[in-house]
């Protein structure tokens, strides 16, 4: 299936369109994270008004609550949540990585305990796909094994071998679903930890499966920024050029610009919404912590020209007051602002690629954003 149409390039940076069941999505694209089918402190109508057409849900969390039985009865997550756009769902691999004390990998899948009530469960590659088909995912991820940055080569190799084997099993189950009418696309996840020979092997083995798209996993998991850039630059060109490429878990401008420059099409992160809930806002002049005393009496908007509710109506001083007072409304206003900032930022990246000026845009943006 032809999931990606590339429309313009600047060196290795590219822009295009993802052709998805719930409408086309321009790339590069940032996906806000709605782990349980909703984003914290902001509703779907607000997300739609900003312009987002692709958001992230999480199979692990949705499997535990509300559960597959209810999701099936509700007709899938789109109908249940009323989200009109597309969903990408993580298979749960990162949750099994981050919840290490509660899980055990076997050749067949993952045994784990629920972080909610301690109940025991088992995820196989087949169940991961079946769950995402019940959810109604437009893009579903294979079940994979993500290893920590300090893992030895033997452990990293074992994770790679399982990931490749599970990708094959996920593809078989995904094709069965296609025959039954499920429309979602399957992405493989390249692993290999911080060993270039393993990264090369993983990319080659997944490319042989000819999947609709590919993610680069096991990055942004605690390694240095230099390691991130080095291994992303190494593995990205090893994956099929004409397929969408996705780096999981990056949400700061420096990491995103690095990824776009290397030819990455998709990325997600909780960063913009999480810092908003902590009282910080993203602007072209950097991250502003509104709790700071310097914003008391500052009657400017967060950012001139921003279309979000906070910037159109309120001053930094008033927003600081809401944050300091612990008003719930502050979380919604700052979250809307940060997601509006991210949407506009990515749109500017796409435009710069079309104009052949992405390198200049990247340099100028970073100089201003990180000036202080």
pLDDT digits (tens, 9 = 90+) for 213-230: 999 999 999 899 999 999
Same domain, 201 and 315: no
pLDDT digits (tens, 9 = 90+) for 277-322: 999 999 999 999 999 999 999 999 999 999 999 999 999 999 999 9
SS3 string of 196-252?
A: HHHHHHHHHHHHCCCCCEEEECCCCCCCCHHHHHHHHHHHHHHCCCCCCEEECCCCC
The chain-wide mean pLDDT, for the chain, equals 96
Active site residue 90: yes
Question: Cα(248)–Cα(336) distance, rounded to whole angstroms?
Answer: 22
Structure tokens at 60: 């692990």
Same domain, 113 and 251: yes
State residue 360's pLDDT score: 98
Asked if 319 contacts 329 with a C-beta cutoff of 8 angstroms, the reply is no
Same domain, 315 and 195: no
What is this structure's pTM? 0.96
Same domain, 322 and 293: yes
Q: Could you say which DSSP state residue 100 is in?
A: G
Same domain, 214 and 328: no
Same domain, 239 and 310: no
Considering its fold, how many domains does the chain have in total?
2
Domain end marker among 269, 297, 312: 269
Question: Cα(71)–Cα(131) distance, rounded to whole angstroms?
Answer: 9
Same domain, 97 and 120: yes
Question: Helix (H, G, I), strand (E, B), or coil: what is residue 185?
Answer: strand
Angle (CA) 86-88-90 rounded to 5° is 165
Question: Cα(257)–Cα(266) distance, rounded to whole angstroms?
Answer: 11
List the catalytic residue out of 138, 144, 265, 268: 268
Domain end marker among 269, 285, 308: 269
User: How are strands ordered across the β-sheet holding 13-18?
Assistant: 4-10, 13-18, 25-27
Question: Cα(190)–Cα(213) distance, rounded to whole angstroms?
Answer: 11
Asked if 193 contacts 149 with a C-beta cutoff of 8 angstroms, the reply is yes
CATH number at residue 246: 3.20.20.105
List the catalytic residue out of 90, 138, 144, 265: 90
Domain end marker among 269, 290, 307: 269
Within 13 Å of residue 18, how many CA atoms lie on the same side as its CB?
Answer: 30
Q: What is the mean pLDDT of residues 137-161?
A: 96
Nearest to 213 by CA among 15, 19, 83, 56: 19
Active site residue 268: yes
Range of the domain at 308: 276-369
Same domain, 248 and 346: no
DSSP for 36-64, please give it: TSSBTTB-HHHHHHHT--EEEEEHHHHII
pLDDT digits (tens, 9 = 90+) for 69-125: 999 999 999 999 999 999 999 987 777 776 777 889 999 999 999 989 999 999 999
Same domain, 329 and 288: yes
pLDDT digits (tens, 9 = 90+) for 22-58: 999 999 999 999 999 999 999 999 999 999 999 999 9
Same domain, 257 and 297: no
Question: Helix (H, G, I), strand (E, B), or coil: what is residue 27?
Answer: strand
Same domain, 282 and 260: no
Same domain, 299 and 157: no
């Amino acid at each position: 299936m032809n999931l990606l149409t590339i429309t313009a390039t600047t060196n290795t940076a590219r822009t295009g369109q993802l052709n998805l069941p719930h409408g086309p999505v321009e790339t590069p694209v940032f996906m806000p994270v709605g782990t349980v089918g909703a984003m914290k402190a902001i509703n779907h109508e607000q997300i739609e008004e900003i312009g987002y057409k692709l958001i992230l849900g999480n199979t692990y969390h949705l499997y535990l609550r509300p559960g597959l039985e209810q999701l099936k009865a509700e007709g899938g997550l789109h109908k249940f949540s009323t989200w009109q756009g597309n969903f990408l769902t993580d298979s749960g691999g990162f949750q099994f990585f981050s919840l290490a004390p509660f899980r055990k990998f076997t050749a067949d899948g993952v045994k784990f305990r629920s972080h909610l009530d301690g109940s025991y469960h088992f995820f196989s590659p087949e169940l991961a796909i079946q769950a995402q088909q019940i959810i109604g995912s437009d893009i579903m991820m294979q079940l994979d094994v993500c290893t920590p940055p300090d893992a030895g080569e033997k452990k990293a190799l074992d994770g790679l071998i399982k990931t490749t084997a599970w990708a094959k099993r996920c593809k078989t189950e995904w094709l069965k679903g296609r025959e039954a009418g499920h429309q979602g696309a399957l992405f493989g996840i390249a692993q290999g930890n911080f060993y270039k020979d393993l990264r090369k092997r993983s990319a080659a083995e997944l490319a042989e499966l000819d999947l609709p798209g590919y993610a680069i996993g096991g990055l942004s998991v605690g390694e240095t920024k230099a390691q991130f850039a080095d291994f992303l630059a190494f593995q990205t060109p090893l994956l099929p050029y004409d397929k969408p490429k996705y780096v999981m878990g990056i949400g700061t401008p420096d990491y995103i610009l690095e990824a776009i420059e290397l030819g990455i099409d998709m990325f997600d992160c909780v960063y913009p919404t999480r810092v908003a809930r902590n009282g910080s806002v993203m602007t072209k002049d950097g991250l502003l912590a509104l709790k700071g005393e310097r914003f008391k009496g500052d009657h400017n908007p967060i950012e001139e020209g921003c279309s979000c509710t906070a910037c159109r109506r309120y001053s930094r001083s008033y927003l600081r007051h809401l944050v300091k007072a612990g008003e719930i409304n502050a979380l919604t206003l700052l979250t809307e602002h940060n997601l509006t900032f991210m949407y506009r930022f990515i749109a500017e990246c796409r435009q710069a690629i079309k104009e052949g000026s992405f390198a200049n845009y990247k340099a100028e943006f970073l100089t201003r954003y990180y000036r202080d």
